[in-house]
Protein backbone atom coordinates (compact mmCIF):
# COMPACT_ATOMS: atom_id res chain seq x y z
CA UNK A 1 0.00 0.00 0.00
CA UNK A 2 1.24 3.50 -0.87
CA UNK A 3 -0.09 6.23 1.40
CA UNK A 4 0.37 9.96 0.96
CA UNK A 5 0.18 11.87 4.25
CA UNK A 6 2.19 14.95 3.20
CA UNK A 7 -0.60 17.20 1.96
CA UNK A 8 0.79 20.25 3.78
CA UNK A 9 3.78 20.02 1.42
CA UNK A 10 1.68 19.59 -1.71
CA UNK A 11 -1.59 17.96 -2.66
CA UNK A 12 -2.48 15.56 -5.47
CA UNK A 13 -4.24 17.29 -8.34
CA UNK A 14 -7.99 16.95 -8.40
CA UNK A 15 -9.02 14.73 -11.36
CA UNK A 16 -11.24 17.50 -12.75
CA UNK A 17 -8.33 19.92 -12.61
CA UNK A 18 -6.10 17.48 -14.49
CA UNK A 19 -8.77 17.18 -17.16
CA UNK A 20 -9.24 20.96 -17.43
CA UNK A 21 -5.53 21.75 -17.58
CA UNK A 22 -4.86 19.01 -20.14
CA UNK A 23 -7.63 20.28 -22.42
CA UNK A 24 -6.43 23.86 -22.17
CA UNK A 25 -2.82 22.91 -22.88
CA UNK A 26 -4.00 21.29 -26.12
CA UNK A 27 -6.51 23.92 -27.19
CA UNK A 28 -5.54 27.28 -25.71
CA UNK A 29 -2.02 28.19 -26.73
CA UNK A 30 -2.34 31.85 -27.61
CA UNK A 31 -0.33 34.48 -25.78
CA UNK A 32 -2.71 36.48 -23.55
CA UNK A 33 -0.95 39.69 -24.64
CA UNK A 34 -1.61 39.02 -28.35
CA UNK A 35 -4.43 40.94 -30.01
CA UNK A 36 -5.65 38.13 -32.31
CA UNK A 37 -8.48 35.78 -31.36
CA UNK A 38 -6.14 33.10 -29.94
CA UNK A 39 -4.59 35.66 -27.62
CA UNK A 40 -7.93 37.22 -26.71
CA UNK A 41 -9.30 33.82 -25.75
CA UNK A 42 -6.31 33.13 -23.51
CA UNK A 43 -6.65 36.57 -21.93
CA UNK A 44 -10.34 35.93 -21.28
CA UNK A 45 -9.50 32.72 -19.41
CA UNK A 46 -6.97 34.54 -17.23
CA UNK A 47 -9.41 37.31 -16.35
CA UNK A 48 -12.27 34.88 -15.72
CA UNK A 49 -10.02 33.02 -13.29
CA UNK A 50 -9.10 36.29 -11.58
CA UNK A 51 -12.76 37.24 -11.14
CA UNK A 52 -13.69 33.78 -9.88
CA UNK A 53 -10.95 33.73 -7.23
CA UNK A 54 -11.67 37.31 -6.19
CA UNK A 55 -15.35 36.49 -5.72
CA UNK A 56 -14.49 33.67 -3.31
CA UNK A 57 -12.40 36.07 -1.24
CA UNK A 58 -14.89 38.96 -1.55
CA UNK A 59 -12.15 41.04 -3.13
CA UNK A 60 -11.89 43.03 -6.33
CA UNK A 61 -10.37 41.27 -9.32
CA UNK A 62 -7.83 44.08 -9.74
CA UNK A 63 -6.48 43.30 -6.26
CA UNK A 64 -5.13 39.91 -7.37
CA UNK A 65 -1.76 39.37 -9.02
CA UNK A 66 -0.94 35.94 -10.41
CA UNK A 67 2.50 34.64 -9.41
CA UNK A 68 4.53 31.44 -9.58
CA UNK A 69 3.41 30.56 -6.03
CA UNK A 70 3.39 31.65 -2.42
CA UNK A 71 7.11 32.36 -2.09
CA UNK A 72 7.14 34.83 -4.99
CA UNK A 73 3.96 36.45 -3.65
CA UNK A 74 5.49 36.87 -0.17
CA UNK A 75 8.65 38.36 -1.70
CA UNK A 76 6.64 40.74 -3.87
CA UNK A 77 4.67 42.03 -0.91
CA UNK A 78 7.52 42.35 1.58
CA UNK A 79 9.85 44.09 -0.84
CA UNK A 80 7.15 46.49 -1.97
CA UNK A 81 6.22 47.29 1.63
CA UNK A 82 9.79 48.42 2.30
CA UNK A 83 10.75 49.87 -1.08
CA UNK A 84 7.49 51.58 -2.03
CA UNK A 85 5.32 51.97 1.06
CA UNK A 86 8.00 53.30 3.36
CA UNK A 87 7.97 50.48 5.91
CA UNK A 88 10.91 50.83 8.31
CA UNK A 89 9.94 48.15 10.82
CA UNK A 90 8.63 44.58 10.49
CA UNK A 91 7.02 42.57 13.27
CA UNK A 92 6.97 38.84 12.61
CA UNK A 93 7.55 35.56 14.47
CA UNK A 94 10.38 33.06 14.67
CA UNK A 95 8.18 30.28 13.25
CA UNK A 96 7.14 31.84 9.95
CA UNK A 97 7.81 30.12 6.64
CA UNK A 98 11.28 30.81 5.26
CA UNK A 99 9.72 32.66 2.33
CA UNK A 100 9.03 35.36 4.93
CA UNK A 101 11.90 34.89 7.40
CA UNK A 102 14.66 34.86 4.79
CA UNK A 103 13.19 37.84 2.95
CA UNK A 104 12.88 39.80 6.20
CA UNK A 105 16.50 38.95 7.07
CA UNK A 106 17.61 40.17 3.64
CA UNK A 107 15.67 43.43 4.02
CA UNK A 108 17.21 43.98 7.45
CA UNK A 109 20.68 43.80 5.90
CA UNK A 110 19.98 45.63 2.64
CA UNK A 111 17.54 48.27 3.85
CA UNK A 112 18.45 48.55 7.52
CA UNK A 113 14.88 47.96 8.69
CA UNK A 114 14.03 47.14 12.29
CA UNK A 115 12.88 43.57 12.88
CA UNK A 116 10.97 42.49 15.96
CA UNK A 117 9.91 38.93 16.77
CA UNK A 118 6.67 38.68 18.71
CA UNK A 119 6.71 36.40 21.75
CA UNK A 120 5.22 32.93 21.44
CA UNK A 121 3.49 30.72 23.98
CA UNK A 122 5.06 27.31 24.74
CA UNK A 123 2.62 25.88 22.16
CA UNK A 124 3.80 28.28 19.47
CA UNK A 125 0.78 30.60 19.54
CA UNK A 126 1.35 34.32 19.03
CA UNK A 127 1.28 36.28 22.30
CA UNK A 128 -1.33 38.90 21.41
CA UNK A 129 -0.49 41.08 24.41
CA UNK A 130 3.12 41.27 23.27
CA UNK A 131 2.00 42.02 19.73
CA UNK A 132 -0.15 44.87 20.94
CA UNK A 133 2.71 46.25 23.02
CA UNK A 134 4.98 46.17 19.98
CA UNK A 135 2.32 48.02 18.01
CA UNK A 136 1.87 50.59 20.79
CA UNK A 137 5.61 51.29 20.66
CA UNK A 138 5.42 52.00 16.94
CA UNK A 139 7.31 55.14 15.98
CA UNK A 140 7.88 54.37 12.29
CA UNK A 141 5.78 52.83 9.53
CA UNK A 142 5.33 49.16 10.44
CA UNK A 143 4.31 45.94 8.73
CA UNK A 144 3.11 42.90 10.69
CA UNK A 145 3.74 39.59 8.91
CA UNK A 146 2.16 36.55 10.60
CA UNK A 147 0.94 33.39 8.91
CA UNK A 148 -2.67 32.30 9.30
CA UNK A 149 -1.86 28.59 9.66
CA UNK A 150 1.61 27.42 10.59
CA UNK A 151 2.82 24.96 7.97
CA UNK A 152 4.49 22.66 10.51
CA UNK A 153 2.46 22.72 13.74
CA UNK A 154 -0.81 23.92 12.14
CA UNK A 155 -1.64 26.54 14.79
CA UNK A 156 -4.43 28.90 13.74
CA UNK A 157 -3.78 32.62 14.13
CA UNK A 158 -6.84 34.61 15.28
CA UNK A 159 -6.77 36.38 11.93
CA UNK A 160 -9.51 38.93 12.41
CA UNK A 161 -8.25 39.90 15.86
CA UNK A 162 -4.71 40.49 14.57
CA UNK A 163 -6.01 42.39 11.53
CA UNK A 164 -8.10 44.63 13.78
CA UNK A 165 -5.12 45.26 16.07
CA UNK A 166 -3.00 46.31 13.11
CA UNK A 167 -5.75 48.57 11.84
CA UNK A 168 -6.17 50.16 15.28
CA UNK A 169 -2.48 51.08 15.47
CA UNK A 170 -2.04 51.99 11.81
CA UNK A 171 0.23 49.09 10.84
CA UNK A 172 0.07 47.17 7.58
CA UNK A 173 -0.86 43.49 7.93
CA UNK A 174 0.50 40.74 5.67
CA UNK A 175 -0.46 37.12 6.24
CA UNK A 176 0.99 34.07 4.54
CA UNK A 177 -2.27 32.18 3.99
CA UNK A 178 -0.81 29.41 1.82
CA UNK A 179 -1.99 26.67 4.21
CA UNK A 180 -5.45 28.23 4.55
CA UNK A 181 -6.70 29.17 1.08
CA UNK A 182 -8.92 26.36 -0.19
CA UNK A 183 -9.36 24.99 3.35
CA UNK A 184 -10.92 27.95 5.15
CA UNK A 185 -13.22 30.68 3.90
CA UNK A 186 -11.64 34.14 4.11
CA UNK A 187 -13.84 37.23 3.77
CA UNK A 188 -11.69 40.22 2.83
CA UNK A 189 -14.63 42.59 3.18
CA UNK A 190 -14.91 41.61 6.83
CA UNK A 191 -11.24 41.13 7.74
CA UNK A 192 -8.97 44.14 7.09
CA UNK A 193 -5.92 42.22 5.83
CA UNK A 194 -3.77 44.35 3.55
CA UNK A 195 -1.84 41.52 1.87
CA UNK A 196 -2.19 37.76 1.63
CA UNK A 197 -0.82 34.98 -0.58
CA UNK A 198 -1.86 31.60 -1.96
CA UNK A 199 -0.36 28.66 -3.80
CA UNK A 200 -2.57 26.41 -5.94
CA UNK A 201 -0.79 23.16 -5.16
CA UNK A 202 -1.93 23.34 -1.54
CA UNK A 203 -5.58 22.86 -2.57
CA UNK A 204 -5.35 20.23 -5.32
CA UNK A 205 -4.33 22.65 -8.05
CA UNK A 206 -1.22 22.81 -10.27
CA UNK A 207 2.27 23.52 -8.96
CA UNK A 208 4.06 26.69 -10.01
CA UNK A 209 1.11 29.06 -9.78
CA UNK A 210 -0.39 31.19 -7.03
CA UNK A 211 -1.45 34.73 -6.33
CA UNK A 212 -0.94 37.77 -4.14
CA UNK A 213 -3.83 39.82 -2.81
CA UNK A 214 -2.89 43.48 -2.45
CA UNK A 215 -5.44 46.09 -1.38
CA UNK A 216 -6.09 48.40 -4.32
CA UNK A 217 -5.07 51.48 -2.35
CA UNK A 218 -1.44 50.29 -2.50
CA UNK A 219 0.66 50.82 -5.59
CA UNK A 220 2.87 47.84 -6.40
CA UNK A 221 6.02 47.81 -8.48
CA UNK A 222 7.17 44.60 -10.19
CA UNK A 223 10.05 42.42 -9.04
CA UNK A 224 10.33 40.94 -12.53
CA UNK A 225 11.01 43.65 -15.11
CA UNK A 226 9.89 43.23 -18.69
CA UNK A 227 6.43 43.53 -20.21
CA UNK A 228 3.30 45.05 -18.72
CA UNK A 229 1.53 41.80 -17.83
CA UNK A 230 -0.57 41.56 -14.67
CA UNK A 231 -1.50 45.23 -14.92
CA UNK A 232 2.15 46.17 -14.92
CA UNK A 233 2.97 44.39 -11.66
CA UNK A 234 4.57 41.18 -12.96
CA UNK A 235 6.32 40.84 -16.30
CA UNK A 236 6.21 37.55 -18.18
CA UNK A 237 3.63 35.61 -20.16
CA UNK A 238 0.90 34.30 -17.89
CA UNK A 239 0.71 30.58 -17.16
CA UNK A 240 -2.78 30.36 -18.67
CA UNK A 241 -3.66 26.70 -18.20
CA UNK A 242 -2.32 26.63 -14.63
CA UNK A 243 -4.16 29.84 -13.69
CA UNK A 244 -7.40 28.35 -15.00
CA UNK A 245 -6.62 25.11 -13.15
CA UNK A 246 -6.05 27.04 -9.93
CA UNK A 247 -9.42 28.80 -10.24
CA UNK A 248 -11.18 25.48 -10.82
CA UNK A 249 -9.35 23.84 -7.91
CA UNK A 250 -10.50 26.64 -5.61
CA UNK A 251 -14.07 26.32 -6.89
CA UNK A 252 -14.03 22.60 -6.13
CA UNK A 253 -12.41 23.07 -2.72
CA UNK A 254 -14.87 25.69 -1.52
CA UNK A 255 -18.09 24.28 -2.93
CA UNK A 256 -17.70 21.17 -0.74
CA UNK A 257 -15.77 22.82 2.08
CA UNK A 258 -17.96 21.85 5.04
CA UNK A 259 -18.34 18.25 3.90
CA UNK A 260 -14.63 17.82 3.15
CA UNK A 261 -13.59 19.50 6.38
CA UNK A 262 -15.78 17.18 8.44
CA UNK A 263 -14.39 14.15 6.62
CA UNK A 264 -10.71 15.11 7.02
CA UNK A 265 -11.27 16.22 10.61
CA UNK A 266 -12.62 12.74 11.36
CA UNK A 267 -9.42 11.18 9.96
CA UNK A 268 -7.28 13.45 12.13
CA UNK A 269 -9.40 12.87 15.24
CA UNK A 270 -9.25 9.08 14.79
CA UNK A 271 -5.49 9.24 14.33
CA UNK A 272 -5.05 11.32 17.51
CA UNK A 273 -7.19 8.95 19.59
CA UNK A 274 -5.42 5.84 18.34
CA UNK A 275 -1.95 7.34 18.80
CA UNK A 276 -2.76 8.00 22.46
CA UNK A 277 -3.70 4.33 22.83
CA UNK A 278 -0.56 3.25 20.99
CA UNK A 279 1.76 4.95 23.48
CA UNK A 280 0.69 7.21 26.35
CA UNK A 281 3.99 9.09 26.05
CA UNK A 282 3.29 10.30 22.51
CA UNK A 283 2.74 14.06 22.52
CA UNK A 284 1.82 16.63 19.90
CA UNK A 285 3.72 19.71 18.80
CA UNK A 286 2.12 23.11 18.97
CA UNK A 287 -1.65 23.06 19.11
CA UNK A 288 -1.92 20.51 16.33
CA UNK A 289 -3.98 18.05 18.40
CA UNK A 290 -6.53 20.76 19.32
CA UNK A 291 -9.22 20.54 16.65
CA UNK A 292 -10.43 24.09 17.39
CA UNK A 293 -7.06 25.85 17.49
CA UNK A 294 -5.30 24.06 14.64
CA UNK A 295 -5.90 23.24 11.02
CA UNK A 296 -7.91 20.08 10.44
CA UNK A 297 -5.35 19.08 7.80
CA UNK A 298 -2.15 18.69 9.84
CA UNK A 299 -0.99 16.83 12.94
CA UNK A 300 2.59 17.13 14.23
CA UNK A 301 3.45 14.12 16.40
CA UNK A 302 6.37 13.92 18.84
CA UNK A 303 7.40 10.40 19.77
CA UNK A 304 8.86 9.44 23.18
CA UNK A 305 12.35 8.90 21.83
CA UNK A 306 14.58 9.51 18.85
CA UNK A 307 13.92 6.87 16.20
CA UNK A 308 16.83 6.99 13.73
CA UNK A 309 15.82 7.40 10.08
CA UNK A 310 12.14 7.37 11.00
CA UNK A 311 10.95 9.15 7.86
CA UNK A 312 12.97 6.77 5.69
CA UNK A 313 11.59 3.74 7.52
CA UNK A 314 8.03 4.98 7.04
CA UNK A 315 8.78 5.61 3.39
CA UNK A 316 9.95 2.01 3.01
CA UNK A 317 6.57 0.96 4.37
CA UNK A 318 4.90 3.10 1.68
CA UNK A 319 3.94 6.01 3.93
CA UNK A 320 4.93 9.51 2.78
CA UNK A 321 5.24 12.04 5.62
CA UNK A 322 7.46 14.95 6.57
CA UNK A 323 9.66 16.04 9.46
CA UNK A 324 8.85 19.69 8.80
CA UNK A 325 8.51 21.99 5.83
CA UNK A 326 9.21 20.37 2.47
CA UNK A 327 11.05 23.56 1.52
CA UNK A 328 13.68 22.61 4.10
CA UNK A 329 14.15 19.00 3.05
CA UNK A 330 17.72 19.71 1.94
CA UNK A 331 18.64 21.28 5.26
CA UNK A 332 20.48 19.45 8.03
CA UNK A 333 19.52 22.00 10.67
CA UNK A 334 16.17 20.45 11.58
CA UNK A 335 12.91 22.29 12.04
CA UNK A 336 13.32 25.95 13.02
CA UNK A 337 9.71 25.86 14.23
CA UNK A 338 10.25 23.04 16.70
CA UNK A 339 13.56 24.49 17.83
CA UNK A 340 11.75 27.74 18.66
CA UNK A 341 9.12 26.13 20.89
CA UNK A 342 10.69 22.98 22.34
CA UNK A 343 13.46 22.40 24.85
CA UNK A 344 16.71 21.01 23.45
CA UNK A 345 15.89 17.57 24.88
CA UNK A 346 12.38 17.47 23.40
CA UNK A 347 13.62 18.74 20.05
CA UNK A 348 15.95 15.73 19.86
CA UNK A 349 13.00 13.33 19.87
CA UNK A 350 11.53 12.22 16.56
CA UNK A 351 8.74 14.49 15.34
CA UNK A 352 6.67 13.70 12.26
CA UNK A 353 4.19 15.87 10.41
CA UNK A 354 1.18 13.96 9.09
CA UNK A 355 -1.13 15.94 6.83
CA UNK A 356 -4.34 14.65 5.31
CA UNK A 357 -6.70 15.39 2.44
CA UNK A 358 -10.16 14.39 1.25
CA UNK A 359 -8.49 11.74 -0.90
CA UNK A 360 -7.17 9.84 2.14
CA UNK A 361 -9.10 7.06 3.87
CA UNK A 362 -9.61 5.66 7.35
CA UNK A 363 -7.99 2.42 6.18
CA UNK A 364 -4.83 4.36 5.32
CA UNK A 365 -4.78 5.92 8.79
CA UNK A 366 -5.08 2.48 10.38
CA UNK A 367 -2.30 1.11 8.16
CA UNK A 368 -0.04 3.98 9.30
CA UNK A 369 -0.86 3.21 12.93
CA UNK A 370 0.24 -0.40 12.48
CA UNK A 371 3.49 0.76 10.89
CA UNK A 372 4.14 3.15 13.77
CA UNK A 373 3.46 0.38 16.30
CA UNK A 374 6.18 -1.73 14.66
CA UNK A 375 8.66 1.15 14.82
CA UNK A 376 7.91 1.84 18.47
CA UNK A 377 8.13 -1.79 19.65
- Residue 261: Cβ-neighbour burial (10 angstroms; 0-12, 13-18, 19+): middle
Task: Tell me, yes or no, if 166 is annotated catalytic.
Answer: no
Q: Closest by alpha carbon to 144, among 217, 74, 89, 84?
A: 89
Other Cβ atoms within 10 Å of 233 Cβ, number: 20
| Helix (H), strand (E) at residue 368 | helix 362-376
> What long-range pairs does 49-56 form, CB within 8 A, spacing at least 24?
49/243, 49/244, 49/246, 49/247, 50/243, 50/247, 52/247, 52/250, 52/251, 53/211, 53/246, 53/247, 53/250, 56/185, 56/250, 56/251, 56/254
Active-site entry in 326, 327, 340, 376: 327
In whole angstroms, give the CA distance from residue 293 to residue 373.
28
Residues taking part in catalysis: 327
Amino acid sequence: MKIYFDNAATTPLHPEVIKEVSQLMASTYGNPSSSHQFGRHAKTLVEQARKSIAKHLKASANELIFTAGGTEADNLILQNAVNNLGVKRIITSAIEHHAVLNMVAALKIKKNIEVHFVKLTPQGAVDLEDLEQLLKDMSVKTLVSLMYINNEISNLLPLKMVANLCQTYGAYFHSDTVQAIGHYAIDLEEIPIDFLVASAHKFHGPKGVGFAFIRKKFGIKPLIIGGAQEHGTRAGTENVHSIAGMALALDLALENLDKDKKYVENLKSHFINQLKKLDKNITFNGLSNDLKQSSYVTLNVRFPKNIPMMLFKLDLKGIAVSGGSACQSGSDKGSHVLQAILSAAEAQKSSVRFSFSKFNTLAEVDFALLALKELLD
